[in-house]
Amino acid sequence: PRGKAGPVVPIKEFGETLKSRVLAIEEPVDEAIKAEEKRIADAKAERERIERERVEGIQAKISHFRNVVPAYAARAAADIEPMLERVKASVILFDEYGEFEAEATIARDNAIEQLETLHKAALEREVAAQKLADQQKELEELRAKQKKADDEAQELREQRAKEDRERLKKQQ
């Protein structure tokens, strides 16, 4: 009879040989599968990055329309008008804005409406400021004329008082 280790060793060796042969075939296939999975994952990540950058770019353009009004709130009409014209000249195209075209159109239209309101208010403010400046100038001119008239009247009173004193001296 054989020992217990006798037939086991060849089976174990056969198993190891079979395992190494299977691994020799399987490892390149497994590496190819893993490489393809990585390529697919990298391509997906790249598509997602490109899409994220596209959306961020569009959102930045839309934000520009939304933020332009507060930036010009206290500016002069001459500063507001060129920006108003630039916003009016902005064309919202599907090719550029994609699924955000409607949102961009609404933001642009709101910006135009608000800039027009700001421009009108700035013009009214400037007209009122000019009117006030003109009134102040006119008031200063009137005050200067009044002072001159008061000075002339004072001088005339003093002259008459002097003449009256001299007449009184002559009469005495």
How many CB atoms neighbour CB 79 within 10 A?
14
**Structure-token match 């174990």, residue found:** 12
What digits encode the pLDDT tens for the residues 15-32? 888 888 888 888 888 999
Q: Evaluate if residue 6 carries a pLDDT over 70.
A: no
Report the share of the chain in percent with pLDDT over 90: 74
Residue 119 CA to residue 103 CA, distance in Å, equals 24
DSSP structure string for 25-46: HHHHHHHHHHHHHHHHHHHHHH
Which token pair is 13? 């060796």
Average per-residue pLDDT for the chain: 91
Burial 14-35 (b: 16+ CB within 10 A, else e): eeeeeeeeeeeeeeeeeeeeee
pLDDT value at position 5?
A: 52
**Structure-token match 């520009």, residue found:** 64
pLDDT value at position 2?
A: 47
pLDDT value at position 3?
A: 47
Maximum Cα interatomic distance, the chain, rounded to a whole number of Å? 179
Confidence of residue 11 (pLDDT cuts 50, 70, 90): confident
Q: What is the pTM of this model?
A: 0.63
